[in-house]
């Protein structure tokens, strides 16, 4: 994903009116904006899902810099279908939570009625050989949550943007296929699917190219399909970020706009 965030930071927001999500008061929103944004980011953070295909595990996100502040090396590309070679893998059996990884977040109050939180994930590579056809070194992907202040004076998550190759998928919050409440995060895979308009979206990461979707799709595992909306994504592993400095890293948007 190499698209500028400017394309989505300018998009409009529509007010949410349903009551299933947890509303945020104006005073609480201002407090969370002023205290660094982590609490705000956690109000609608996604539960991320990863899957393997043809017995080959995926890459999972990792740190973009080493402890001394240098950029980490990229991972080599391997031949199809070994998309998870030479990178960080889940390393635990299918049906378990994924190991933790950092969320590089940023946030912005776009107007008196619109606030955006960006959740960025970093990978040391994308896809497989040949380079610049089916893969490339380094990969940033992101989820963007739009909070809107409604006519009752309360803030609610209203829209979801999912990075998808050269652009974004955009969903109204009520249209997201699978959402959970915070208490569901302790359940395997966040509990039952097909629940809508709750606080946290279930986001499925494509096995090869890491684009984000709000649905699973395990019907296509050929190379060309991984470049399309039919790309393979499943729910073998899952991760719901927790509070802590290893989980949340402030993202300098100036470096990537």
Model confidence pLDDT, tens digit, residues 36-54: 999 999 999 999 999 999 9
42 inside domain: yes
1 inside domain: no
Give the pLDDT band (50/70/90) at residue 252.
low
175 inside domain: yes
Q: Where are the beta strands (DSSP E) in the chain?
A: 47-50, 96-97, 103-111, 114-127, 135-149, 155-164, 167-172, 179-180, 200-205, 212-213, 237-239, 248-250
Domain encompassing residue 195 = 6-255
| Residue 231 or 243, more confident | 231
Find out whether 71 and 65 touch, Cβ atoms under 8 Å.
yes
25 inside domain: yes
170 inside domain: yes
Q: How many CA atoms lie within 13 A of 16 on its CB side?
A: 27
Burial status of residue 71 (CB atoms within 10 A of its CB: 0-12, 13-18, 19 or more): exposed
Structurally, the chain folds into a number of domains equal to 1
Average pLDDT, the chain: 91
Between 1-5, 36-40, 188-192, 233-237, the lowest mean confidence (pLDDT) is in 1-5
For 87-126, b where at least 16 C-beta lie within 10 A, e where not — what string? Answer: bbbbeeeeeebbeebbbbbbbeeeeeebbbbbbbbbbbbb
């Amino acid at each position: 994903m190499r698209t500028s965030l400017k394309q989505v930071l300018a998009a409009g927001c529509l007010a949410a009116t349903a009551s299933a999500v947890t509303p945020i008061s104006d005073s609480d929103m201002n407090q969370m904006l002023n205290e660094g944004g982590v609490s705000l980011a956690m109000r609608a953070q996604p539960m991320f899902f990863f899957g393997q295909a043809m017995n080959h595990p995926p890459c999972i996100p990792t740190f973009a810099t080493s402890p001394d502040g240098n950029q980490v090396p990229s991972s080599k590309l391997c031949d199809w279908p070994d998309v998870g070679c030479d990178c960080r893998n889940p390393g635990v059996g299918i049906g378990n939570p994924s190991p933790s990884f950092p969320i590089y977040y940023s946030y912005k109050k776009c107007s008196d009625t619109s606030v955006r939180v960006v959740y960025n994930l970093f990978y040391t590579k994308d896809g497989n050989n040949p380079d610049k056809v089916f893969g490339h070194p380094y990969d940033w992907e992101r989820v963007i949550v739009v909070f809107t202040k409604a006519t009752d004076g309360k803030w609610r998550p209203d829209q979801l943007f999912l990075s998808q190759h050269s652009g974004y998928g955009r969903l109204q919050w009520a249209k997201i296929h699978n959402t959970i409440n915070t208490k569901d995060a302790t359940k395997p895979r966040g509990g039952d699917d097909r629940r809508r308009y709750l606080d946290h979206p279930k986001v499925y990461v494509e096995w090869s190219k890491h684009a984000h979707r709000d649905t699973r799709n395990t019907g296509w595992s050929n190379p060309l399909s991984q470049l399309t909306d039919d790309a393979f994504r499943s729910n073998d592993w899952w991760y719901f970020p927790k509070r802590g400095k290893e989980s949340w890293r402030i993202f300098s948007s100036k470096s990537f706009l």
